[in-house]
Amino acid sequence: MANRRTVFYLSDRTGITVETLGHSLLTQFDGIQWRKVSIPFLDSEDKAREAAEQINLMAQLDGYRPLVFSTLVNPVVREHIQRADCAIYDFFDNFIDSMEKELGQQSSHAIGRSHGLHDNASYTRRIAAINFAQANDDGISAKSFADADIILVGVSRSGKTPTCLYLAMQYGIYAANYPLTEEDMDDSKLPKILHPFRTKLFGLTITAEQLQRIRQERKPNSRYASFRQCQQELEWQQDLYRRENIPFINTTAISIEEIATTILNRSGLKRQLYGE
């Protein structure tokens, strides 16, 4: 039976940073089944006491003390957690002291800087990019393509929409997309509407097996979801990419984050947001 343990993510604010951090550390250890507990907005002594009790309880239940990843700033809250039965991996303890020395200045020890406050220009850019992705999804207007930083192309269900949204949300990129359809296949050339925007094109592809699985969930037992149909569309599409020199990426085994970052990196696009 798998080793069962509990991990806590504690934060004064959203907990998103500490969850990302913790998750990527946990993936370095195989064969453990993790029970994950997030406690965001942990900002009072009462909540700290409750969190400590929860930690102690899980230590008893599991027979192992929980791992606690934390970005807590408030010293009173921290103290309560430190007295609990757990192994603490604190983000601030590990880096802030050494950064203070390097930078020759004290840290502000302020809570919630990373996601709480935002400068207006970045915020506006981010919202505008999300709206753009939303408005120009499956876009077939040349107007939207003219304004786009990048245009993703690919057959239906190859991952265009989530990738566009992620490019907008994380990097503030104006991403439009164009679905390659059967009608385009008949023509066997690059669709005319895309001609003026060749340099902005980036292709997505996927294995026929995975595409079939996804389409099957959407329209069970349709021609659209048949293996043969998926295979034909993909073959045609990859020929097109090669013939037209469109860079492309296979999205089968990688996450939305990885697809988006790879595209950003390979296309040389400048990010408009920076871990804001």
Span 178-237, contacts to its own copies by CB under 8 A: 214, 217
The secondary structure of residue 189, as a DSSP letter, is: S
Decide: 132 and 174 in contact? Cβ < 8 Å. Answer: yes
Closest CB 199 distance from its own copies, rounded Å: 22
Closest CB 87 distance from its own copies, rounded Å: 5
Give, in degrees to the nearest 5, the angle at Cα 110 between 96 and 13.
100
Q: How many CB atoms lie within 10 A of CB 38?
A: 17
What does residue 229 show for φ and ψ, rounded to 5 degrees? -65, -45
Q: Quick one: 92 or 236, whose CB is closer to its own copies?
A: 92
Q: Which of residues 246-265 bind its own copies (CB under 8 A)?
A: 253-258, 261-262, 265
Residue 14 within binding range of its own copies, rule CB under 8 A: yes
* Torsion sign across C-alpha atoms 251, 253, 255, 260: negative
What does residue 209 show for φ and ψ, rounded to 5 degrees? -60, -50
Cα 70 to Cα 100: distance, rounded to the nearest angstrom: 19
Work out which of 8, 9, 178, 241 binds its own copies, going by CB under 8 A.
9
Candidates 85-93, 140-148, 177-185, 220-228: pick the segment binding its own copies (CB under 8 A): 85-93
Q: Which of residues 104-143 bind its own copies (CB under 8 A)?
A: 105, 107-110, 112-118, 123-124, 126-127, 130-131, 134, 137
Q: Quick one: 28 or 186, whose CB is closer to its own copies?
A: 28
Binding mask 21-40 for its own copies (x = CB under 8 A): xxxxx-xxxxxx---x-x-x
Q: Quick one: 140 or 185, whose CB is closer to its own copies?
A: 140
Q: Quick one: 124 or 188, whose CB is closer to its own copies?
A: 124
Q: How many CB atoms lie within 10 A of CB 160?
A: 27
Q: Give the DSSP H or E segment for 89.
A: strand 87-90
Closest CB 29 distance from its own copies, rounded Å: 6
Q: Which of residues 145-184 bind its own copies (CB under 8 A)?
A: 161-162, 165-166, 169-170
Work out which of 10, 15, 136, 139 binds its own copies, going by CB under 8 A.
15
> 118 CB contacts (<8 Å, ≥6 apart)?
276
> 129 CB contacts (<8 Å, ≥6 apart)?
167, 168, 169, 171, 172, 173, 174, 175, 272
Work out which of 91, 145, 174, 178 binds its own copies, going by CB under 8 A.
91
